[in-house]
Amino acid sequence: MTMTTKLGVISDTHGDVLDTLRAVDLFRQRGVSVVVHCGDIGGSQIVRLFRGLETHYVYGNTDGESEILRREIEAAGGTLHGMSGSLEIEGVRIFFLHGHENKTFNKALDGGDWNLICYGHTHQSDLRMHGETMLLNPGAFQRVRTPRVAVVTLPELTVESFDIS
């Protein structure tokens, strides 16, 4: 019997504590058990909000490669994957990155190794297929009208987007 897992996808929080708290609450209400944060985290205060959720992070272009952020993520029980990361959940191969490094993004996209690629950076929601690979950008929390996140049901790869406000 196949299990289902809810994966929360969030990006570009840029230190927005109030909306990020709303997003974390939504993830908990929706039964999300694993979260991927696709970078531009915006500080330690954001990381603390994810305590109690299995959360995987990558650096975004505004995060630098901050040791302070790395230590805070570890203290909160999260995992920092550097500039890109990968997971396999319910047999679904997931790659995630911020998206500002075009060479890494294109290599992942063209390699055909992933069922799902999650990214951020553009501040625009995106959900489309590239061959057999689903591309997902949940949206952003700054320079947008409405902050957005996504919840992916695995292994089915069904995606729901949610406005946070």
Tell me what pLDDT residue 105 has. Answer: 94
- The answer to whether residue 1 scores a pLDDT higher than 60 is no
- The answer to whether residue 2 scores a pLDDT higher than 90 is no
Residue given tokens 């840029």 in the structure block: 14
pTM of the model: 0.96
Identify which of 148, 78, 84, 89 has the alpha carbon closest to the alpha carbon of residue 119.
84
CA–CA gap between residue 101 and residue 93 (Å, rounded): 20
Mean pLDDT value across residues 81-109:
96
What is the chain's mean pLDDT, rounded?
95
- Bridge partners (DSSP) listed for residue 85: 96
Task: Kindly compute the dihedral angle of the four CA atoms of residues 54, 104, 122, 33, in this order, to the nearest 10 degrees.
Answer: -10
Least confidently predicted of 1-5, 11-15, 35-39, 100-104: 1-5
Identify which of 159, 131, 143, 128 has the alpha carbon closest to the alpha carbon of residue 36.
159
The enclosing H or E element of 48 equals: helix 44-49
pLDDT in tens, 102-147: 999 999 999 989 999 999 999 999 999 999 999 999 999 988 999 9
86 contacts 106 by C-beta, under 8 angstroms: no
Locate 23 and state its tokens.
């997003």
